[in-house]
Structure 1
Amino acid sequence: MNAPLPPKPPARADRVGLLQYLRLFRRDILSAQPARLYHAWMAEFRTPFFRSYLLNQPDLVDLVLKERPDDFPKSDRISEGLRPLLGNSVFLTNGETWKRQRRIIDPAFEGGRLRATFPAIWAAAEAAVARLPQGEVEIEAQTSHAAADVIFRTLFSVPIEDQTAQSVFHGFRAYQRTQPLVNLAAFLPFPRFMPRFMPRGFAKSTKRAARDIRTLIARMTEKRVAEIAAGQAPDDLATKILTMHDPQTGQGFSPDEMVDQVAIFFLAGHETSASALAWAIYLLALYPEWQTRIAHEARALEGGCDFAVLSQLPVTRDVFRETLRLYPPVPMMVREATRPERFRDRVIKRGAQLVISPFHIHRHTRLWDNPDEFDPTRWEKGRRRGPYLPFSAGPRICTGAGFAMVEGVVLLAMLARAYRFDLIEGRAPPRPVAHLTLRAANGIWLNITQR
């Protein structure tokens, strides 16, 4: 009997009318796309008002993300729902502002910083093991809690139990569920005067929630600035970033700018890690033979907190990589053409929206062997692989990509060593949908028992 395939969003009919497409889009951007996108090199979406293009062809993806990123900046439209929370953070900026921010942020994640933050990741993983309930459990809520704990311990040296950390965590969880990955204004660039198809009062409530979260982050940042001035600050990521200076200008982040950056560190680092870990645990339940292998391999953790243990977890690492291939936390990215281009004999006008979808690229039938199958062995040395961009690519690649890989591997290994995860008989498989990250429509429910 063949192993089941991991859940995948259903594709729509190849041709639908504009209004029907908009209704499908509002419900779920992934299932609103036709199946042919998993085979096509490029797709054009045209209406009487605009054209958008989805790019799967590797050389075009490289051109946009790696070779000429300044010619294809992030679309300003994508920030419409996020600006109240993220302000002028590195996730939303372009050009010289973005370059300045990366010059300050990147050194905090370079060199030995991963080794320096490893004890905090380890402590958060131990806390997650101790906190995990047994029985029928919605696992996304648990991985969200664990990932938030990692962020607060590594960023501000406080556990999730800290009162302010708890308030930020619950505020972010509520906020992310209200936000689509890409709103209609970003993917379908209607004129700005057109309605955004949001519920009554949505914009006001979103702004209020964002303001409350930013107030809490500002409180933590102000406290850290005072600790730095008094020479009493812990050597964590917040201290590192607040004390870094742009090598070109000699200037660092102001407290207000730091609030913007902390907001995106939490949103990006917490949300993406929680999503990936939840899907990884689900895949272990779906494929128990891999779960057994990881549980056996995770005995290496019994020696205690040691950064070198990562080299003894190759199976766990390959399972996590394969999870990121099947369920990239940010399944679509939107860029904008700043000048006319010609892609595959199509004229791309200035201002056109260019969509790069890791979800489709990672499952592309012309780029991967058996793309819909869960096969961690494809990451073994020498095996052919297709384009892989769970953290984007090029200059705008996620600065915390290495951090996320360490966190994911350690948490997955520790949890699999302590617990067994099984599917719940009679419960339908989770359906992937795109919120700010790739989540399950009704959560991921598993039966958890202690080993």
Structure 2
Amino acid sequence: MKPPKPTPRADKVSLWRYAKLFRQDLLSAQPQRLYRAWMAEFRTPFFRSYLVNQPALVDEVLKQRTDAFPKSDRISEGLRPLLGNSVFLTNGDVWKRQRRVIDPAFAGGRMKDTFPAMLAAADQGVHRLAQRLGADIEIEEVTSHVAADVIFRTLFSVPIDHEIAAQVFAKFKAYQREQPLLNIAAFLRMPRWMPRLHSRKTRETARDIRHLIGRLTEERAKLIAAGKAPDDLATKIMTTPDPETGRCFDTDEMIDQVAIFFLAGHETSASALAWALYLLALYPDWQDKVADEAQAAGRPGFASMSQLKICRDVFREALRLYPPVPMMVRETTCPEGFRGRNIEKGSQIVLSPWHLHRHERLWDNPDDFDPERWQTENGKTCQRSAFLPFSAGPRVCPGAGFAMIEGPLILSQLLRRYRFETIPGKSPVPVAHLTVRSKDGIWLRLGGR
């Protein structure tokens, strides 16, 4: 049995049909040929897009010539009501300044400092499930809760049941379901002075989330001024001056950054953890291996995380099969020549972890769940050249190392205590919202171990 995958559309459909499919689900709207093509061109009346899967081209765009391929506004427009001018959306000197301030907070030494907060969130997640033994549970809600708890504990030193944290979590659940990945104003490339055509509900929810984050940020600024702030990620980021300008983030800038930390650190982790638990339920022999490894490792500590090799490979395989961010879009700043094609300035370059991670010409048995692949020569090669769950190059997610500790830690803690089983007739269907989620949730039966 292979893990679930959207049924690709026929290779040729009308533009109208493609637009309708795209709006419903980004993944199933794409043709089967993208799983074997090195490059594909998509033409619309408004712009040209080129999806690139060839590792050398991906490397050129993400690593070798980053400044020549900035992030595209066509994706940014849909997220701007929530994320403002965050590091996820900016380009050029603004982005470089933001990374100079943010990156030190996620350096290796800081990860050791945040580990106790991660472990506390994992423990609480395990505890919350104790009352639901024998029940059928929607596992995306469970992983969203624990991932949000991790973010609030590591960022602001407050648990998820903190009044403001709980409100942000509730509002964000609504936002991620109602927000389309591509905003129509960006699709048509409307001038900046024209309305952005975001729905009223989207604007209101984003405004509410940013107001709540603003309250947390302002409270932290007061604690910093009084010399009473905890030594967490928020304090580190808010007190780190740009080494070139000497400026720290002001309140508005910090709201932007916290919004993307919550999106990137909560939404993506929740997606990856939910799919990992489903895969382990689908393959119970692997679930037992993870549980045995977790039991043998005992109470986890930062230093002992290196012992969870099987758990890490399972989490990595979930990221491969269901990358939380399925596509990334860059824009050409000058004419380019890719694989003998002339690409005009302003064209969209689409990098698709979804297709790259399942590419038939790169991976052995690409649609299979096989955590052992990461110890093979093919797996090691593809990990270097065709594995992009956190992007790559200068714009790699600053929290990538954070996620690779958080994911295996939470999985190991859950599997030490519980057994997860699939439910007949409830196979999840992957779709792309803000991240790769299941169309109707991921339902599993919870048992004791």
Say yes or no: TM over 0.5.
yes
Within the alignment, does 1:167 sit opposite 2:164 as a pair?
A: no
Query: Which whole-Å CA distance do the structure 2 matches of 1:431 and 1:421 have between them?
Result: 18
Query: Which whole-Å CA distance do the structure 2 matches of 1:144 and 1:94 have between them?
Result: 29
Query: Which whole-Å CA distance do the structure 2 matches of 1:253 and 1:47 have between them?
Result: 40
Structure 1 position 6, deviation (Å):
0.5
Query: Which whole-Å CA distance do the structure 2 matches of 1:424 and 1:77 have between them?
Result: 39
Q: Which residue in 2 is equivalent to 1:370? A: 365
Equivalent residues in 2 for 1:31-70, closer than 5 Å: 31-70=28-67
Q: Which residue in 2 is equivalent to 1:436? A: 434
Query: Which whole-Å CA distance do the structure 1 matches of 2:244 and 2:283 have between them?
Result: 51
Q: Which residue in 1 is equivalent to 2:120? A: 123
Equivalent residues in 2 for 1:109-148, closer than 5 Å: 109-132=106-129, 133-134=132-133, 135-148=135-148
* Aligned residues of 1:180 and 1:434 also touching (Cα < 8 A): no
Equivalent residues in 2 for 1:296-307, closer than 5 Å: 296-302=292-298, 304-307=299-302
Structure 1 position 48, deviation (Å):
4.3
Structure 1 position 305, deviation (Å):
4.5
* Aligned residues of 1:78 and 1:183 also touching (Cα < 8 A): yes
Identity %: 66
* Aligned residues of 1:73 and 1:335 also touching (Cα < 8 A): yes
Structure 1 position 192, deviation (Å):
2.0
* Aligned residues of 1:358 and 1:388 also touching (Cα < 8 A): yes
Query: Which whole-Å CA distance do the structure 2 matches of 1:185 and 1:292 have between them?
Result: 49
Q: Describe the superposition over 1:310-363 as per-residue Cα deviations: whole angstroms up to 9, x where unpaired.
A: 111100000001110001000100110010001011111000011100000000
* Aligned residues of 2:4 and 2:429 also touching (Cα < 8 A): yes
Structure 1 position 255, deviation (Å):
1.1
Equivalent residues in 2 for 1:66-105, closer than 5 Å: 66-105=63-102
Q: Which residue in 1 is equivalent to 2:326? A: 331
User: Judging changes above 3 Å, is the alpha-carbon distance between structure 1 residues 449 and 351 closer, same or farther for their aligned structure 2 residues?
Assistant: same
User: Judging changes above 3 Å, is the alpha-carbon distance between structure 1 residues 28 and 68 closer, same or farther for their aligned structure 2 residues?
Assistant: same
Equivalent residues in 2 for 1:20-419, closer than 5 Å: 20-132=17-129, 133-134=132-133, 135-183=135-183, 189-192=187-190, 203-302=199-298, 304-380=299-375, 382-384=377-379, 385-386=381-382, 387-419=386-418
Q: What letter corresponds to residue 78 of structure 2 in structure 1?
A: G
Query: Which whole-Å CA distance do the structure 2 matches of 1:370 and 1:413 have between them?
Result: 26
Query: Which whole-Å CA distance do the structure 2 matches of 1:20 and 1:6 have between them?
Result: 27
User: Judging changes above 3 Å, is the alpha-carbon distance between structure 1 residues 112 and 49 closer, same or farther for their aligned structure 2 residues?
Assistant: closer
Query: Which whole-Å CA distance do the structure 1 matches of 2:252 and 2:345 have between them?
Result: 34
CA RMSD of aligned residues (A): 1.6
1:11 to 8, 29, 35: 8
Structure 1 position 211, deviation (Å):
1.0
Q: What letter corresponds to residue 22 of structure 2 in structure 1?
A: F
Within the alignment, does 1:450 sit opposite 2:448 as a pair?
A: yes
Q: What letter corresponds to residue 234 of structure 1 in structure 2?
A: P
SS in 1 for 2:145: helix
Query: Which whole-Å CA distance do the structure 2 matches of 1:118 and 1:55 have between them?
Result: 37
Query: Which whole-Å CA distance do the structure 2 matches of 1:85 and 1:110 have between them?
Result: 26
Structure 1 position 50, deviation (Å):
2.7
Query: Which whole-Å CA distance do the structure 1 matches of 2:201 and 2:224 have between them?
Result: 35
* Aligned residues of 1:300 and 1:309 also touching (Cα < 8 A): no
Gaps of 5+ in 2: none
User: Judging changes above 3 Å, is the alpha-carbon distance between structure 1 residues 300 and 228 closer, same or farther for their aligned structure 2 residues?
Assistant: farther
User: Number of aligned pairs?
Assistant: 440
Structure 1 position 301, deviation (Å):
4.7
Query: Which whole-Å CA distance do the structure 2 matches of 1:277 and 1:183 have between them?
Result: 28
Q: What letter corresponds to residue 428 of structure 2 in structure 1?
A: P
Q: What letter corresponds to residue 123 of structure 2 in structure 1?
A: E
Query: Which whole-Å CA distance do the structure 1 matches of 2:12 and 2:185 have between them?
Result: 21
Gaps of 5+ in 1: none
TM-score (norm 2): 0.95
* Aligned residues of 1:86 and 1:263 also touching (Cα < 8 A): yes
SS in 2 for 1:180: coil
Query: Which whole-Å CA distance do the structure 2 matches of 1:96 and 1:65 have between them?
Result: 17
* Aligned residues of 2:364 and 2:378 also touching (Cα < 8 A): no
Q: What letter corresponds to residue 238 of structure 2 in structure 1?
A: L
Structure 1 position 261, deviation (Å):
0.3
Structure 1 position 183, deviation (Å):
4.2
